[in-house]
Structure 1
Amino acid sequence: MTMSPADTKPSSPATPVRAPLKPLDQALAELLAQATPLPGIESVFTFEADGRVLAQDLVSALNVPGHDNSAMDGYAVRCADWADATTLLQVNQRIAAGSSGQALAAMSAARIFTGAPIPSGADAVVMQEDCQTVGADGVRLLVPPQPGQWIRRQGEDVAAGSVVLQRGKRLDPAALGLAASIGFAQLPLAPRVRVALFSTGDELVMPGDVAPADLPAGAIYNSNRFFLRALLLRLGCVVTDMGIVPDRLDATVAALKDASAGHDLILTSGGVSVGEEDHIKPAVQALGQLNLWQIAIKPGKPFAYGEVGSAHFIGLPGNPVSSFVTFLLLVRPFLLRLQGMTDVATKSIAIPAHFDWARADKRREFLRVRRNPAGGLELFANQSSGVLTSAVWGDGLVDNPAGQSIAHGDMVQFIPFSALLS
């Protein structure tokens, strides 16, 4: 049998099959599974604990309030003494907050102020607007008193021996006030996460180093470095800013090696795609291991997780909106879990879309939107991953499932930035 020239040509190598992109929920679950809370406890003044995470339960040693006290300025009385609005009671004592009174005699009343302890025998407080003074020491009650009215009972806020704030609680101003109300001047907190931060890219320059008029062709200012550092600080992290690393494999390996010493997390932006100048993947693999690569979301597909030495590694995309969104959706819950928080889920609410989105994507999309006075959501016109203006203009994200278009009036899932940036 004679073979044609085509039959004698060597077969071309098979095109490698790419692994499918990982769904966001699966990627987050795998990421959080690696986020073992950091060991140790820091004792911190309650004044300085806003935004930090409790490492132990706070148990109250006292009741709050510590005694029955008045919720109003008015008169402490015995309900049994009142017959009608003409009943005259003798005012024989005055009780202010911080003082204590005498037992209340029959047909008498005590002038009392908010927070003052209820005298023995009294079973109601009548606010002063419902009373009429008579002479220097008499009072009539214009409405019938009801047992227990305007009395704050001992321990009704906090009972002695109860857990007031649970371990893993991220503290806010109200929680700090509650801790102070049960006598805690210092709080046992999870350690701060130590983060090494750097960007990769020969095109990056820092604002202030080069004037806009002198910016070389192809160069851009490094915006990611600014918002990532700010986001990390808002989450209570200790940040080491390692600057900009050149687009070279040896420089990337050296930066990762330096960053792994004394840090819990290495966070980078840029260099996690598949171009010839993207060196993060081989550099991480040379020093440690890469466990997660590319997520099925838009914006933000290039996302990497691994380990370098004893440090966690997370690589974010270089496009600013992609970097911003992947930080909020993946890095933020990871950092909170490292600090011992258990409930780190991103929460959304249903709001009507006041826009049309016909371009359904095969990836799960996060669209930049803002609320309008009509109670719906407006869409930023340019949803490109490089348009950081959209994140400033908007006040949240629409979490849009893969393959789904949106028509005006459809209910969509809205994630407010206020919840993600706190």
Structure 2
Amino acid sequence: MSDQAPFIRPPLMPLDEALARLLANARPQLGTERVSTFDADGRVLAQDVTSALTVPPRDNSSMDGYAVRTADCAQPGAVLVVSQRIPAGSVGGPLAAGTAARIFTGAQIPEGADAVVMQEDTAALEGEGGQDAFGRVRIDTPPSAGQWIRRAGEDVASGDLVLRRGERLTPQALGLAASVGMDALEVSLRPRVALLSTGDELVMPGEVAPQDMKPGAIYNSNRFFMRALLTRLGCSVSDLGIVPDKREATIEALRQAAETHDLIVTTGGVSVGEEDHIKAAVQWLGSLELWSLSMKPGKPFAYGRIGNAHVTGLPGNPVSSFLTFLLLVRPFLLTLQGAERTAPQPVPMRADFDWPRADRRREFLRARRNAQGGLDLFSNQSSGVLTSTVWGDGVIDTPAGQSFKAGDTVQFIPFATLLA
């Protein structure tokens, strides 16, 4: 008999508690840099952006048509002399009574005009020379005051706070920054992330043909989606490849990675098997602060520190690895960059299937929206079935111990909100 103390598994930690503890450790300390607004998509803004100008600076037309005085065309069929032509980027003169100005989208409204009639509600008539140089126009539909006029400052007023520190920049945010003259933005530095996989069974696609795979070997799918997820989150990724299932090799890989990275992300090797060395290696080199979640799929998740580097140990099963990254590592990385909003917003939706199998853990069911406005369930909810994450467009967040029936309202988290 062995005299070694028996292994005692700690109680499973609720997901919300684990996330709170993770985020408490994600203190933004990465520093900042100034980058071109062209290159700032997906980065976290490190400084408020305040407008130094009014947008738009003057009243302008939102349509191609004719700028008019509403008093001159109160009745259908009014005919006005076209006294001037105002393209976008030029300024017309005051609009004389009884005349119209041919105007184009974005052009400044001339003084005296109080409406724009879009081209489709008019008919151009031939001119007669002289003051009729631009012809005449018949106004078929009388306009109301202010029609098709974009008012000065209706988008942004001078001095407005247009983007807040802590926002994750989107393409539309970049456009807004450019509209107030920002050619560069102050953003958080990219987190330096080391990615490594563990497992002697792992093989890289391209190295071994499918027909030549040895019994027990599998392709390393985790490495591909993990690298893509980290890149989407603005990280600078060091792909350290596959680490053998050996304690010494695992310790050395983690030790080296911790020297030059802010975060180490591992997949596999965090369970309790004899070939699972990540947890023990983190404890040997630093500290393990949480392990084992009340979550399905995704129970064997670990977090710890080695020196100044954070370490997240994700499960080896691909769906477990995918979901624990999205629900735990993603908000951790965003918080590390100073982002203010990191939590996904569930959408209440109707389940179009029965789920009678209540689990003692909080469960995330892969599902997708159907044409009837409800949710369908993927037939196989195994943690190894990566197909479910491609077929589905989100997960149903199911509390521990809860079952439901078709027609019940459930909380759906779209992948679109987690992959942005």
Give the TM-score taking structure 2 as reference length: 0.94
**Residue 94 of structure 1, CA deviation:** 0.6
Q: Which deviations, in whole Å up to 9, do the C-alpha atoms of 1:63-101 show, x marking residues without a partner?
A: 111111111111111223345335432211111101110
Q: Which deviations, in whole Å up to 9, do the C-alpha atoms of 1:376-415 show, x marking residues without a partner?
A: 2111111111111111221111111111122222211111
Give the residue type in structure 2 aligned to 1:196.
A
Residue matched to 2:17: 26
Pair 1:85–1:368, CA change in 2 (3 A): closer
Give the residue type in structure 2 aligned to 1:287.
L
**Residue 354 of structure 1, CA deviation:** 1.7
Residue matched to 1:375: 373
Residue matched to 2:132: none
Residue matched to 1:127: 118
Query: Secondary structure of 2:109's match?
Result: coil
* One of 266, 285, 302 as aligned partner of 1:268: 266
**Residue 27 of structure 1, CA deviation:** 0.8
* One of 309, 312, 319 as aligned partner of 1:311: 309
Residue matched to 1:9: none
CA distance in structure 2 between the partners assigned to 1:142 and 1:215 by the alignment: 76
* One of 46, 55, 61 as aligned partner of 1:55: 46
Query: Secondary structure of 1:109's match?
Result: strand
Residue matched to 1:71: 62
* One of 381, 401, 407 as aligned partner of 1:403: 401
Residue matched to 2:322: 324
**Residue 211 of structure 1, CA deviation:** 1.9
User: Which is further off, 205-214 or 251-260?
Assistant: 205-214
Residue matched to 2:353: 355
**Residue 183 of structure 1, CA deviation:** 1.5
CA distance in structure 2 between the partners assigned to 1:245 and 1:314 by the alignment: 16
What is the aligned-residue RMSD (CA, Å)? 1.7
**Residue 134 of structure 1, CA deviation:** 3.6
Query: Secondary structure of 2:304's match?
Result: strand
Query: Secondary structure of 1:329's match?
Result: helix
CA distance in structure 2 between the partners assigned to 1:87 and 1:248 by the alignment: 89
CA distance in structure 2 between the partners assigned to 1:260 and 1:108 by the alignment: 75
Kept in 2, the 8 Å contact 1:38–1:190? The answer is no
Q: Which deviations, in whole Å up to 9, do the C-alpha atoms of 1:35-58 show, x marking residues without a partner?
A: 112332222222222211111111
**Residue 286 of structure 1, CA deviation:** 1.2
Residue matched to 1:212: 210
CA distance in structure 2 between the partners assigned to 1:220 and 1:13 by the alignment: 34
* One of 385, 406, 415 as aligned partner of 1:417: 415
* One of 388, 391, 394 as aligned partner of 1:390: 388
Query: Secondary structure of 1:189's match?
Result: strand
Instruction: Say whether 1:107 aligns with 2:98.
Output: yes
* One of 176, 179, 182 as aligned partner of 1:178: 176
Give the residue type in structure 2 aligned to 1:48.
D
CA distance in structure 2 between the partners assigned to 1:294 and 1:150 by the alignment: 60
Kept in 2, the 8 Å contact 1:38–1:191? The answer is no
CA distance in structure 2 between the partners assigned to 1:13 and 1:306 by the alignment: 25
CA distance in structure 2 between the partners assigned to 1:83 and 1:369 by the alignment: 57
* Identical-pair percentage: 66
CA distance in structure 2 between the partners assigned to 1:394 and 1:49 by the alignment: 30
Instruction: Say whether 1:92 aligns with 2:90.
Output: no
Residue matched to 1:336: 334
Residue matched to 1:203: 201
**Residue 15 of structure 1, CA deviation:** 6.6
The aligned runs of 1:254-265 (5 Å cut-off) are: 254-265=252-263
Instruction: Say whether 1:44 aligns with 2:35.
Output: yes
Kept in 2, the 8 Å contact 1:50–1:172? The answer is yes
Give the residue type in structure 1 aligned to 2:50.
V
The aligned runs of 1:229-248 (5 Å cut-off) are: 229-248=227-246
Kept in 2, the 8 Å contact 1:365–1:400? The answer is yes
CA distance in structure 2 between the partners assigned to 1:92 and 1:356 by the alignment: 71
Kept in 1, the 8 Å contact 2:74–2:143? The answer is no
Q: Please, which runs of 5 or more residues in structure 2 have no aligned partner?
A: 128-134
Instruction: Say whether 1:297 aligns with 2:288.
Output: no
**Residue 421 of structure 1, CA deviation:** 1.3
CA distance in structure 2 between the partners assigned to 1:305 and 1:153 by the alignment: 53
Residue matched to 1:7: none
CA distance in structure 2 between the partners assigned to 1:133 and 1:44 by the alignment: 50
CA distance in structure 2 between the partners assigned to 1:164 and 1:417 by the alignment: 28
Residue matched to 1:5: none
Query: Secondary structure of 2:10's match?
Result: coil
User: Which is further off, 328-337 or 83-92?
Assistant: 83-92
User: Which is further off, 102-111 or 82-91?
Assistant: 82-91
CA distance in structure 2 between the partners assigned to 1:165 and 1:159 by the alignment: 13
Residue matched to 2:72: 81
Q: Which deviations, in whole Å up to 9, do the C-alpha atoms of 1:308-343 show, x marking residues without a partner?
A: 111111000011111011001101111111111111
User: Which is further off, 371-380 or 13-22?
Assistant: 13-22
